[in-house]
Structure 1
Amino acid sequence: MAVEAIGFEPAAVLLDMDGLMLDSERVHQECWREAAKQLDLDVDDELFMSLVGLHEDDQHERLCEQLGPEKADPLIERCDALFTKRIEAGLPHKPGLVPLLERLAGAQVTRAVVTSSVCEHAWQKLETAGLRRYFDTVISGSDIDSPKPAPDIYRLAAERLGVDPARCIVLEDSEPGVRAALAAGMHPIQVPDLVQPDEALREMGHRIVESLEQAGELITPRL
């Protein structure tokens, strides 16, 4: 079934980073599993999957609730060390990312990264993945008190860019990000990554596509 295109010229396109532009969520899952193995912890993959899209503070809280801080803290530290090495090597792009960014840049569409990652990590990921040249602005988890699904980070993005939230297109992969964009009065296009949207999220009425290529086709004018 065809998905209705965005019917206006966007003032800005705001892109999530992990799981949307970078195949980092899959890499992060590998790091969680390897960290648990190294620490001889028996942790169900379901717990690690539940961390997708969450702010680091919320991830810490969930792991402490499920494992206790005596296990959660060493696990997080070990996972962070493994993940840092993968970042330094350059995280893989999601299919269709660079052509989409080239089209947006060529059409002089304002772009920004809006991510729950802390600022220094966000710039590092973009740099090592060869994407920094496409962005002048990153709004990160370091800039707000209430992370996604609160709308704060997207409202701040619109404020910094000087654009009307109602004319912002948001590209997101996760439920918290979609809910944050909708609450900020923006137009999200979801490209699901590891976790598919459930019925409750689908009922929010936003656009859901299978790839960044399809997302690009919904952005008007045709670029």
Structure 2
Amino acid sequence: MKQGAIFDMDGLLFDTERIFRDSWTETAKRFGQIPQPDLPAAIAGTSGAGMREVILRYYPGTDPFAFQESCISHAADILKKGVPEKPGVREILESFRSKHIRSAVASSSSREMIMNDLRSTGIDGYFDVIVSGEDVSRGKPAPDIFLLAAQRLGCAPQDCYVFEDGINGVRAGIAAGCVTIMIPDLFEPTEDIRAGCAGIFPDLQAAQRAIESNIL
């Protein structure tokens, strides 16, 4: 069993990727654009300049800063009504705590949004480290956010589990050298993901069982 556990947030801890998907669609309409169905998968896990590059690729000629801010604000307004928690979140966090495995959140969201979501659901106390998209210059699929999370946990990357739901996030975990586990949400694993990650499970409960059985 590893020494650290690093969790993505949206789509992994919380059922929020659908909210962001719908927010990208609404934002495109607001900017007079035709919504591109492939955008959510391409943009999931990115942050900052990387996110704006994707916006310009799909919607050339738009103001990527305004587009980005509009989508995030739209999603944040919806999330004020409540953050839906994914099944098995508390169980796996309790399991790691009981085994003295330190846990981190590594999310491309802003620190403010991360803390709001964690506090509103009451799971903020489980995490020793929080790393946001604001803490790194390169977002996922670059490995930076997971390397920084591992460093702050005091663990070598290879001694950390990474739990992710998105393609960019899984690629980042693999590139960081972490034991990367995919829990698919909106996006199905590609061939390179299947070849590179340590395991693919339907939910966190199944992943927890595999870890406790020493499969991972």
Q: Deviations over 1:100-142 (max 9, x none)?
A: 2222223332111111222222212212233212213101222
Contact 1:36 1:42 (C-alpha < 8 Å) held by counterparts: yes
Residue 66 (structure 1) aligned to one of 58, 66, 71:
58
Offset of 1:74 from its aligned partner?
4.3
Contact 1:56 1:117 (C-alpha < 8 Å) held by counterparts: no
Offset of 1:71 from its aligned partner?
5.8
Residue 90 (structure 2) aligned to one of 73, 94, 98:
98
In the superposition, the TM-score normalised over structure 2's length comes to 0.88
In the superposition, the TM-score normalised over structure 1's length comes to 0.85
Offset of 1:56 from its aligned partner?
3.8
Residue 28 (structure 1) aligned to one of 9, 14, 20:
20
Which runs of at least 4 in structure 1 moved beyond 4 Å after TM superposition?
71-74
Larger displacement relative to structure 2 (56-65 or 204-213): 56-65
Closer, same or farther: CA 170–70 of 1 in aligned 2, 3 Å = closer
Question: SS at the partner of 1:160?
Answer: helix
Offset of 1:67 from its aligned partner?
1.6
> Which residue identity lines up with residue 54 of structure 1 in the other structure?
T
Offset of 1:199 from its aligned partner?
1.4
> Which residue identity lines up with residue 123 of structure 1 in the other structure?
M
Structure 2 segments unaligned to the other structure (5+ residues):
none
Aligned to 1:199: 191
Closer, same or farther: CA 61–209 of 1 in aligned 2, 3 Å = same
Aligned to 2:169: 177
Residue 136 (structure 2) aligned to one of 144, 151, 154:
144
> Which residue identity lines up with residue 165 of structure 2 in the other structure?
D
Closer, same or farther: CA 184–75 of 1 in aligned 2, 3 Å = closer
Residue 55 (structure 1) aligned to one of 47, 66, 88:
47
Question: SS at the partner of 2:193?
Answer: helix
Closer, same or farther: CA 175–48 of 1 in aligned 2, 3 Å = closer
> Which residue identity lines up with residue 91 of structure 1 in the other structure?
V
Larger displacement relative to structure 2 (192-201 or 83-92): 83-92
Query: Are residues 1:163 and 2:148 paired?
Result: no
Distance 1:147 1:49 in 2: 15
Structure 1 segments unaligned to the other structure (5+ residues):
1-8
Q: Deviations over 1:23-64 (max 9, x none)?
A: 111111121222334444322222334222222432221212
Contact 2:111 2:132 (C-alpha < 8 Å) held by counterparts: yes
Aligned to 1:120: 112
Identity %: 34
Larger displacement relative to structure 2 (89-98 or 191-200): 89-98
Structure having greater relative contact order (Cα 8 Å, sep ≥ 6):
1
Aligned to 2:208: 216
Query: Are residues 1:107 and 2:83 paired?
Result: no
> Which residue identity lines up with residue 147 of structure 2 in the other structure?
R
Contact 2:45 2:139 (C-alpha < 8 Å) held by counterparts: no
Larger displacement relative to structure 2 (66-75 or 173-182): 66-75
> Which residue identity lines up with residue 115 of structure 1 in the other structure?
S
Distance 1:205 1:169 in 2: 11
Aligned residue pairs: how many? 214
